[in-house]
Chain A
């Protein structure tokens, strides 16, 4: 077996063209390289870009929150699982931000690192930190069930690029949802303590569920609430857990995460996510 690089160091240090970036060993290529990104005539480009940004921001911020669990998971297998899930979502985020960028003339890096809080369009569910493992798997169950239902419909949307990104995402999200569901059941139908904590975790997450189903003017599809409810009901019943009755987190003047109105938590995520890129915007390796 011959390596294409003589030493691993050559591989890390090489540059392909002039795409060097500040992150070590990356030099990321465009995730949509060579794909026809023409917007179909019957779609409003600005609305499509905004919608891709929304779906991309959901994945980017949530991936970052999951990455914060690295080195803190109870077992190595769970560490690997969450790292893999975060990586899938980061991949989805890159493609979706790149899709938005093909329309508004910005790169995925500019969109990820140089936008301010009010310009982020993610739902508020993904920005809040998980306070324990039960919240982690509970939020993942809610998020992946909703996003899977949404992506399953996006596969038939009129933008072929977004449809293709969704088509890949469906396969990944199915795995994420199964993983989360199995943990929610294990904790819910476990000991008295684990059941109590899983129930408390759901109560903490539930106020953020309604926002996922708000209809936004730029959205090309809406996830089917009854499909989401059916999956959650099955999992909760198997887990011997009750569906929480918490009231939804209020909108601010009718505006929520999709309109750039966020909880305090997002500022902390962005500070960590963006600080290096902002401190050294032109740095290369």
Chain B
């Protein structure tokens, strides 16, 4: 039933991400599918990183949201392939990230052949506060697996950025 499925998607899509609560699972692009089969709502999610510790909370929150929206039988499935890409973050998600002081990711690297070694300086992330491109990477890893740490030379503020993968 089209209406019910749309509603189930809406209920699931509004679930906030536990580590980036300004974004919904749909904004982040980790909600891959929601559909109803024989009275069961099946929601499919994909991890951002293999070790993402939030997957369990995400599954529990998703189940909770759908049940509160009136769907009693809920099944949460994981999908690994294709692997999550930061390109899947929606435009709305990117605006929300910037408003929260986190630089959205640049385009994910594309390649043919072996993964190239990156020894030079990465493309600078634009400062989410003042918009300056005069920034430096201070650490390739940050408070969560999906972010890196930067500093803006113009407004002197540190900020995080979603890694492009």
Chain A residues in the interface with B (C-beta under 8 A):
1, 4, 11, 14, 16, 26-29, 31-35, 77, 80-81, 83-85, 87-92, 94-95, 148-149, 152, 160-161, 163-165, 167-172, 174-175, 177-179, 181-182, 185, 227, 231, 234-235, 238
Contacts and interface: CB of A to CB of B under 8 A. Distances in A.
Interface in B50-86: 50-53, 55-57, 59-61, 63-65, 75-84
A151 to B, nearest CB: 10
Given A29-B59, A85-B141, A91 B77 contact: no
A179 B109 CA distance: 17
Main secondary structure of the interface of A (DSSP, over half): helix
Given A35-B77, A168-B50, 8 more contacts: A4-B60, A4-B65, A34-B78, A81-B139, A152-B115, A163-B81, A168-B80, A178-B117
B147 to A, nearest CB: 9
A181 B55 CA distance: 30
Contacts of A164: 80-81, 83
6 contacts: A4-B64, A87-B53, A161-B80, A164-B81, A167-B83, A178-B119
Contacts of A174: 115, 118
Contacts of B47: 91, 168
A178 B140 contact: yes
Given A16-B56, A84-B141, A179-B140, A167 B81 contact: yes
A92 B80 CA distance: 12
Contacts of A84: 141-142, 145
Given A29-B56, A34-B44, A80-B142, A4 B61 contact: yes
Contacts of A149: 114
Interface in B38-55: 44, 47, 49-53, 55
Contacts of B50: 88, 91-92, 94-95, 165, 168-169, 172
Interface of B: 16, 21-22, 44, 47, 49-53, 55-57, 59-61, 63-65, 75-84, 114-115, 117-119, 138-143, 145, 149, 163, 165
A33 B77 contact: yes
The 3 A-B residue pairs with the shortest CB-CB distance in the complex, in nearest-first order: A91-B51, A34-B77, A91-B50
B117 A235 contact: yes
Nearest to B64: A4
A32 B78 contact: yes
A171 B149 CA distance: 18
Contacts of A94: 50-51
Contacts of A234: 117, 119
A171 B49 CA distance: 9
A98 to B, nearest CB: 10
Nearest to B63: A16
A28 B56 contact: yes
Contacts of A171: 83, 165
